[in-house]
A and B are shown apart, each in its own frame.
Chain A
Amino acid sequence: MTVSELTQNGLTALTLPDGDRSIEGVYMGDLLSWVMGNASTDNAWITIMSNLNVVAVAVLTDVSCVILAEGVELPADVKAQAEAKGVNILTSELPSYETAVKLYELLR
């Protein structure tokens, strides 16, 4: 499934500069070093963090998109940076766990 397809299934795109990225698995976490140590390339990354460092971590780990759970808002400067760096950011009104369950259903 691609990131664009995900947005047709109840998740809203906040930035979508590279919607053709394929999603292979999911990683969930808010501690950025932990995410960098464990997220795999092409994972969808579910988090509640929405500061500028999230964009850097998404670039460095090569995740296919960031999904902000719990309807967390994306500051304008972070949005601009994500677009500049080609990072897809989606938002979900659901908490992290329910978002992960939804992705599990969509990806299997």
Chain B
Amino acid sequence: MPEPLVFHFDVDGNDFTSAGTASVTVKKNLRQLGLPSEVIKKLSIAMYEGEINMVIHADGGTADVIVGESYIDIILADHGPGIPNVELAMQEGYSTATAQIHSLGFGAGMGLPNMKRYSDEMTIDTRLNEGTTVKMRIYL
């Protein structure tokens, strides 16, 4: 089996406006690989929501995209405060974002729901005061 292709990104927690750099780059790279555009769209949106979450809530983190033969994994890891109630966070419309974040057009409480919606499998491993790792898988 060939080695999977891996893209690694550091997501800068201080720069809200540059969030999306990793997702937009991944989108471009996956296009060059000739993957179906619907798969690329789902994946890059799911990843962007994750990037935004890490910037808003966790002071940044890392994003890894692993392109296998039959699926693509996105692993988003941060050392933020953790998610106290995952079930609540998964509800559409639930948000703890600040007014400043709202003024930028985020904080609608759709981030995690969109990530679930656009991925085929999603797991959240979160520990209070230690961090959160979200793993998403999209089948090709």
Inter-chain CA distance A85–B117, complex, in Å, is 26
Please give, as numbers and ranges, the residues of chain A lying within 8 Å of B62 by CB-CB distance. Answer: none
Inter-chain contact A53/B110, CB cutoff 8 Å = no
Inter-chain contact B108/A60, CB cutoff 8 Å = no
Inter-chain contact B108/A33, CB cutoff 8 Å = yes
Inter-chain CA distance A34–B49, complex, in Å, is 11
Interface size class of B (residues with CB under 8 A): 20 to 34
Inter-chain contact A41/B110, CB cutoff 8 Å = no
Inter-chain contact B27/A60, CB cutoff 8 Å = yes
Inter-chain CA distance A62–B19, complex, in Å, is 18
Residues in B4-27 with C-beta less than 8 Å from chain A: 16-20, 23-24, 27
Please give, as numbers and ranges, the residues of chain B lying within 8 Å of A56 by CB-CB distance. Answer: 19-20, 23-24, 48
Inter-chain contact A33/B49, CB cutoff 8 Å = yes
Contact check: which of A33, A62, A85 meets B110 at CB < 8 Å? Answer: A33
Inter-chain contact B49/A53, CB cutoff 8 Å = no
Which residue of chain A is the closest to B20 with respect to CB atoms?
A56
Inter-chain contact B108/A52, CB cutoff 8 Å = no
Which residue of chain A is the closest to B114 with respect to CB atoms?
A37
A49 located at the interface, meaning its Cβ lies under 8 Å from any Cβ of chain B in the complex: yes
Q: Given A32-B106, A33-B106, are A51 and B111 also a contact pair (CB < 8 Å)?
A: no
Please give, as numbers and ranges, the residues of chain B lying within 8 Å of A60 by CB-CB distance. Answer: 20, 23-24, 27, 41, 44-45, 48
Q: Given A37-B117, A60-B23, are A54 and B105 also a contact pair (CB < 8 Å)?
A: yes
Inter-chain contact A30/B49, CB cutoff 8 Å = no
**Contact pattern, B 37-69, Cβ under 8 Å of A = 1, otherwise 0:** 100010011001100100000000000000000
A31 located at the interface, meaning its Cβ lies under 8 Å from any Cβ of chain B in the complex: yes
Contact check: which of B27, B37, B49 meets A41 at CB < 8 Å? Answer: B37
Taking A33-B114, A62-B41 as known contacts, 4 extra A-B pairs with beta carbons closer than 8 A to each other, sorted by chain A number, are A33-B108, A52-B20, A59-B27, A85-B24
The contact sample of 28 A-B pairs, CB cut-off 8 A, is A30-B105, A31-B108, A32-B105, A32-B106, A33-B49, A33-B108, A33-B110, A33-B114, A37-B110, A49-B104, A51-B104, A51-B105, A52-B20, A53-B16, A53-B17, A53-B19, A53-B20, A53-B105, A55-B20, A56-B24, A57-B20, A59-B20, A59-B27, A60-B20, A60-B24, A60-B44, A60-B45, A61-B41
